[in-house]
């Protein structure tokens, strides 16, 4: 073409180097076929999911041992299953986005991980009450039990479910096509619909994590050789650090790299919570079974943490 007959290329095409003809733009998203990051995230997610299921199997096998019973067996199972489901939501972020995956991925992750953090909060509250109940003339013992833990999990999770329902009802996420940000590329991405709802979901998760961190920090010096509060403190500190650093990185990137930042935050925060809380238990179950005895637990006062 000469300068007199120059024509503008369609939005899904751009001119070649010689400005002679229009050529199709390339599509950018986290593709299973061409992107190495997808392979990395898939392998990492599958590994963490398998390890989580392995831990569930261990807790079922050793469900009547003092260690599993002492650390609130029911809440531990809820926490493990919610972490497993949180890991699986990562697959909704991989591949070409469509409307249904855009609608589900943030909502489901927010709900599942809220259940996980609520379970951690329930554990923290029970450890705190167990510590208070050991003091004379204190009526804290009446609050100990499964009902309180379940109430904490249901109440805290219900708020996140409400946020998700409002989000889907008012302004749900949808597939979006960005043809302007990069020349030669069409970015296939999810538009979150409501930025307020997205950050409300993250903010509520951060609030629950902060409450858990503060309570666990208060009782981190319990005179136990196996102090769960200490590990909860580490897990919530890791969670907060990951997501605080994720937000500016998320806002400063675009396209598939923005999605990769969120996937990395989900994977590392879930793995961090799992590692801090359950790896010490697996260590005792398999490498230090002599510590998993009722006599040892009673000597250290751990059985009070049921």
User: Per the domain annotation, does 201 fall within a domain?
Assistant: yes
DSSP-assigned letter for residue 302? G
User: Per the domain annotation, does 208 fall within a domain?
Assistant: yes
User: Per the domain annotation, does 11 fall within a domain?
Assistant: no
Q: Are 67 and 294 in contact (CB under 8 A)?
A: no
For the segment 29-37, the average pLDDT, to the nearest whole number, is 84
pLDDT at 155: 92
| Residue 168 CB partners (closer than 8 Å, separation 6+) | 103, 107
Residue 283 confidence (pLDDT) above 80: yes
Q: Are 115 and 80 in contact (CB under 8 A)?
A: no
For the segment 127-153, the average pLDDT, to the nearest whole number, is 65
Distance separating alpha carbons of residues 95 and 41, to the nearest angstrom: 11
Per the structure, the complete domain to which residue 225 belongs is given by: 36-91+101-165+194-286
User: Per the domain annotation, does 14 fall within a domain?
Assistant: no
Helix (H) and strand (E) counts for the chain?
9, 5
Q: Which residue has the higher pLDDT, 301 or 217?
A: 217
Token pair, residue 164, equals 């998700």
Q: Are 262 and 250 in contact (CB under 8 A)?
A: yes
In this prediction, residue 304 has a pLDDT band, given cuts at 50, 70 and 90, of very low
Residue 190 confidence (pLDDT) above 70: yes
| Residue 108 CB partners (closer than 8 Å, separation 6+) | 85, 89, 92
Count the domains in the chain. Answer: 1
pLDDT tens track for 145-155: 567 788 889 99
User: Per the domain annotation, does 297 fall within a domain?
Assistant: no
Helix axes 99-133, 73-88, angle to 10 degrees: 160
Find the Cα–Cα–Cα–Cα dihedral 304, 284, 78, 240, rounded to 10°: 90
In this prediction, residue 301 has a pLDDT band, given cuts at 50, 70 and 90, of low
Among 152-166, 185-199, 221-235, the range of highest mean pLDDT: 152-166
Residue environment code for 255-281, b if the CB has 16+ CB neighbours within 10 A, otherwise e: bbebbbbbbbbbbbbbbbbbbbbbebb
User: Per the domain annotation, does 15 fall within a domain?
Assistant: no
For the segment 253-277, the average pLDDT, to the nearest whole number, is 90
Range with lowest mean pLDDT among 138-142, 239-243, 244-248: 138-142
Distance separating alpha carbons of residues 256 and 254, to the nearest angstrom: 7
CATH number, position 68: 1.20.1070.10
pLDDT at 116: 93
Token pair, residue 64, equals 């009547």
User: Per the domain annotation, does 75 fall within a domain?
Assistant: yes
Bridge partners, residue 174, by sequence = 191
CA 230 to chain centre: 20
Alpha helices in 171-303 (DSSP H): 195-218, 228-251, 256-287, 294-300
Q: Return the residue matching tokens 């609030």.
A: 207
What's the pTM value of the predicted model, to 2 decimals? Answer: 0.85
Residue 305 confidence (pLDDT) above 50: no
Residue 95 confidence (pLDDT) above 80: yes
pLDDT tens track for 204-213: 988 988 888 8
Range with lowest mean pLDDT among 18-32, 38-52, 250-264: 18-32
Distance separating alpha carbons of residues 39 and 143, to the nearest angstrom: 47
User: Per the domain annotation, does 274 fall within a domain?
Assistant: yes
Helix axes 256-287, 228-251, angle to 10 degrees: 170
Summary mean pLDDT of the chain: 82
Residue 306 confidence (pLDDT) above 50: no
Q: Which residue has the higher pLDDT, 264 or 69?
A: 264
pLDDT at 6: 73
């Amino acid at each position: 073409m000469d300068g007199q007959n120059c024509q503008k290329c369609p939005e899904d095409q751009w001119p070649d180097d010689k400005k002679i003809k229009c050529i199709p733009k390339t599509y950018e998203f986290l593709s299973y076929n061409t992107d190495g990051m997808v392979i990395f995230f898939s392998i990492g997610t599958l590994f963490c999911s398998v390890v989580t299921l392995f831990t569930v199997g261990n807790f079922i096998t050793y469900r009547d041992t003092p260690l599993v019973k002492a650390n609130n067996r029911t809440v531990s199972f809820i926490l493990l299953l919610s972490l497993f489901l949180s890991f699986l939501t990562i697959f909704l972020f991989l591949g070409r986005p469509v409307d249904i995956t855009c609608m589900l991925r943030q909502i489901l992750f927010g709900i599942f991980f809220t259940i996980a953090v609520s379970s951690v909060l329930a554990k923290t509250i029970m450890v705190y009450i167990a510590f208070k109940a050991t003091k004379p003339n204190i009526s804290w013992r009446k609050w100990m039990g499964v009902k309180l833990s379940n109430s904490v999990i249901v109440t805290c999770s219900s708020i996140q479910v409400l946020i998700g329902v409002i989000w889907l009802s008012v302004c749900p996420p949808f597939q979006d096509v960005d043809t302007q940000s990069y020349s030669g590329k069409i970015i296939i991405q999810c538009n979150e619909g409501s930025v307020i709802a997205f950050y409300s979901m993250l903010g509520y998760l951060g609030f629950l994590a902060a409450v858990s961190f503060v309570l666990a920090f208060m009782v981190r010096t319990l005179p136990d050789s196996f102090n769960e509060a200490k590990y909860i403190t580490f897990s919530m500190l890791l969670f907060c650090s990951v997501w605080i650093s994720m937000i500016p990185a998320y806002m400063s990137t675009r396209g598939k790299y923005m999605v990769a930042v969120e996937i990395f935050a989900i994977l590392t925060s879930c793995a961090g919570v799992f590692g801090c809380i359950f790896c010490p238990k697996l260590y005792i179950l398999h490498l230090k079974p002599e510590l998993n005895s009722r006599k040892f637990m009673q000597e250290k006062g751990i059985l009070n943490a049921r």
